[in-house]
Structure 1
Amino acid sequence: MKALDRSVAIALAGLALAAPGFALADARVLVGHFAPFSNDLAATAVDVRINGATALTNVRYGSFTAYIPLAPGAYRLEVLPAGTSTVAISANVTLADNTDYTVLATGGASGQPLALQALVDDNRAPAAGNLKLRVIHAAPFGPNAASTAVSIRTDRGAVVGGLASVPFFAASGYLEIPAGNYDLKVASPDGSRNLIDLAPVDLPAGAVLSVLATGDGVNQRLGFTALPLGALPTETPVDASVSGHWFTPEFSGQGFAFTPKPNENRLLGSWYTYDAQGNKTWYTLDSAGANSGAAATANGGFNSRSAVLTILSSTGGRFLANNPVQTAPVGRVVLNFENCTTAVAEIRLDGQPVRNVPLSNLTPSGACSL
């Protein structure tokens, strides 16, 4: 169980065992509250009635139960503001023998109506070394299907499981994937704008998970919840806020230009400087380059606030000529943004001492807001 008072669970289990029509049987139901209808968590509290009997009390947004055993048959589910007799939403469900269900309270924000959504679960074990993953879009951040459509992608922008345009409230089938470390995100259908970025997480073999995109971005923040694990850690979604020309106040006529690629969680750049003899030179920078580390190469290497960029030197070119150019890594820059106008670069150029250089953004983008 996650984020639900243990006494509530015990009470519900007792009700399931004792009340008429609630006898222990093979049907099981997991109930979750993911309707972000208030920015005050206490104000999201609801009670749940099953066939007129109170089964759960004071359940807040983000809470969910363990599986509750119920006898097969027809049930009336009702959700009420906590401590009241006013039914806010209701649904009739018929439970089949030897079947698991997830019932979610959703909507209530951005013009999306409150609703109870019932899903049939498949808890059969995956093959050895694998896990099963179902993706559910429960984040009502727009008033209609088109405005809520999202894609599910890796940090480098690849669409996962064909989930390229998923509207609210839609659920994928179960995807069977190898256990391991995953770094996923929710983006616009074309991948150009990141909405929710999952921090890298280890998903264990044998697990059967429903991963929900949650929140509306106004009342409750956008995030991920994995049933039955709980809320998953997220990172600041990569956007274009740090793009611009950054100068180095300590050194005249030198600086950097940075351009994020949100669809790849990647940061590209150029460094304008001088060599030891005073000759003008420049380098290209890439957070997914060879000197950025194996993890950075896999996930794009940028989380909107820090990056390790490979310094790349190009030789062989000629002015306005199509000469072959050779590019090779010659060091790295460890970059930390305090915000979209102030940063520090730790420069590690091969054969040179390490230098820490403050940077200031001369041309903040329209996405920059302090």
Structure 2
Amino acid sequence: MYTFFKIALVWLAVAAGLLAAQPALAQDGETPAAPAANPTVTIGHFAPFAADVASTAVDVRVNGTAILTGMVYGNYVDNVEFPVGSVVIDLLTPGTETVIVSATAQFNADTSYYLLAIGGANGFPSKLIQTPVITAIPAGKALVTLGHLAPVTGLTAVNICTDDGDLVVTVNYGEPAANLPLDPGFHDWKIWVLGCSLIEVFDMPPFFIAAGDYRDAFAIGLRDSLAFPPNIVTTTGLLTLFNYLPTIHSSTSARSQP
């Protein structure tokens, strides 16, 4: 059973796993080439499709093989190795063959991805979305991926703006703004519906990001919901200056084998 969100008052960082490479054969006079590594995937369950968190539990199946069991809303598992090529992913009612969501996606070698379950409320269908992660960070910069994954009626896009009113990025529901270059240092952002001044959705706590860092943050939850309150979650950790609602949370990372 997965534990629901763990509130982070300090840096909550999730260490990325390193894939071990086997030596490759080389021709005389050539430098041995590193073999291609299988894709690694962060699987997140952010689909509030049931009446409560416990009822959102799913088993995750890849090409017919169960890889995770009993995964509930608000949880993620990182560095899951996937096969290269076209992959069929199914989310099933635990212990059954009842498919809740099914999708086919392409995964390339030497690439990391998000695979996130979203929707299932307010007329938004349950679905899986895939987003690649860029690990080559520009010199002197940081990278951040931001996602609007909250199935809220009328909120199909939001503007993320600085506290001074400058637009950082517009994010559409279910379409993460991935791998955005960001200057290192402190950032203070707000999330708005219209422009950078009309209908405030979130006032994010100020956060710090260092040069060379990769971080993420995803808005999830439902408006006026006790079971699925609006929140911002991170799978990489974010260093925030203080903690208040809405706050930065770190989803529980756990792996459950059948």
State yes or no: 1:188 paired with 2:193: yes
How big is the shift at 1:173? Answer: 4.2
Q: Residue 220 of structure 2 aligns with which residue? A: 214
State yes or no: 1:151 paired with 2:159: yes
1:32 and 1:75 map into 2 onto residues whose CA distance is: 17
How big is the shift at 1:230? Answer: 7.4
CA contact (8 A) 2:208 2:238 kept: no
Summarize the alignment of residues 229-308 of structure 1 with structure 2, pairs less than 5 Å apart: 229=237, 235-236=244-245
CA contact (8 A) 1:25 1:70 kept: no
SS of the aligned residue for 1:43 comes to: helix
- Over aligned residues, Cα RMSD in angstroms? 2.7
Residue of structure 1 aligned with 2:45, choices 26, 30, 33:
33
How big is the shift at 1:235? Answer: 4.1
How big is the shift at 1:94? Answer: 2.0
How big is the shift at 1:69? Answer: 2.2
Q: Residue 68 of structure 1 aligns with which residue? A: 80
SS of the aligned residue for 1:174 comes to: strand
Q: Which has the higher contact order (CA 8 A, sep 6+)?
A: 2
Higher mean C-alpha displacement, 190-199 vs 104-113? 190-199
Q: Residue 201 of structure 1 aligns with which residue? A: 207
CA contact (8 A) 2:133 2:179 kept: no
SS of the aligned residue for 1:49 comes to: strand
Structure 2 letter corresponding to 1:184: W
2:45 and 2:238 map into 1 onto residues whose CA distance is: 12
2:221 and 2:149 map into 1 onto residues whose CA distance is: 7
2:91 and 2:61 map into 1 onto residues whose CA distance is: 6
How big is the shift at 1:37? Answer: 1.9
Q: 1:230 to 1:57 in 2, by over 3 A?
A: farther
Structure 2 letter corresponding to 1:89: V
1:3 and 1:133 map into 2 onto residues whose CA distance is: 26
SS of the aligned residue for 1:94 comes to: strand
Point out the structure with max Rg over C-alpha: 1
CA contact (8 A) 2:143 2:179 kept: yes
Structure 2 letter corresponding to 1:193: I
Identity score, percent:
31
Deviation digits for residues 251-307 of structure 1, max 9, x if unmatched? xxxxxxxxxxxxxxxxxxxxxxxxxxxxxxxxxxxxxxxxxxxxxxxxxxxxxxxxx
Residue of structure 2 aligned with 1:101, choices 110, 113, 135:
113
Deviation digits for residues 157-189 of structure 1, max 9, x if unmatched? 32114x2xx331122242211222222222112
How big is the shift at 1:72? Answer: 1.1
How big is the shift at 1:200? Answer: 1.7
Q: Residue 167 of structure 1 aligns with which residue? A: 172
Structure 2 letter corresponding to 1:196: F
Q: 1:46 to 1:30 in 2, by over 3 A?
A: same
CA contact (8 A) 1:32 1:104 kept: yes
Q: Residue 236 of structure 2 aligns with which residue? A: 228
How big is the shift at 1:194? Answer: 1.4
CA contact (8 A) 1:66 1:228 kept: no
Structure 1, unpaired ranges of 5+: 5-12, 14-23, 238-370
1:67 and 1:80 map into 2 onto residues whose CA distance is: 21
CA contact (8 A) 2:190 2:200 kept: yes
1:156 and 1:61 map into 2 onto residues whose CA distance is: 34
Deviation digits for residues 312-357 of structure 1, max 9, x if unmatched? xxxxxxxxxxxxxxxxxxxxxxxxxxxxxxxxxxxxxxxxxxxxxx
Normalising to structure 1: TM-score of the pair? 0.52
Summarize the alignment of residues 344-359 of structure 1 with structure 2, pairs less than 5 Å apart: none
Structure 2, unpaired ranges of 5+: 5-16, 18-35, 247-258
How big is the shift at 1:224? Answer: 1.4
Q: Residue 146 of structure 2 aligns with which residue? A: 135
2:86 and 2:133 map into 1 onto residues whose CA distance is: 18
Q: Residue 66 of structure 2 aligns with which residue? A: 54
Normalising to structure 2: TM-score of the pair? 0.73
CA contact (8 A) 1:112 1:140 kept: yes
SS of the aligned residue for 1:25 comes to: coil
Q: Residue 176 of structure 1 aligns with which residue? A: 181
- In the alignment of these two chains, the number of paired residues is 211
Q: 1:36 to 1:60 in 2, by over 3 A?
A: same
2:176 and 2:67 map into 1 onto residues whose CA distance is: 26
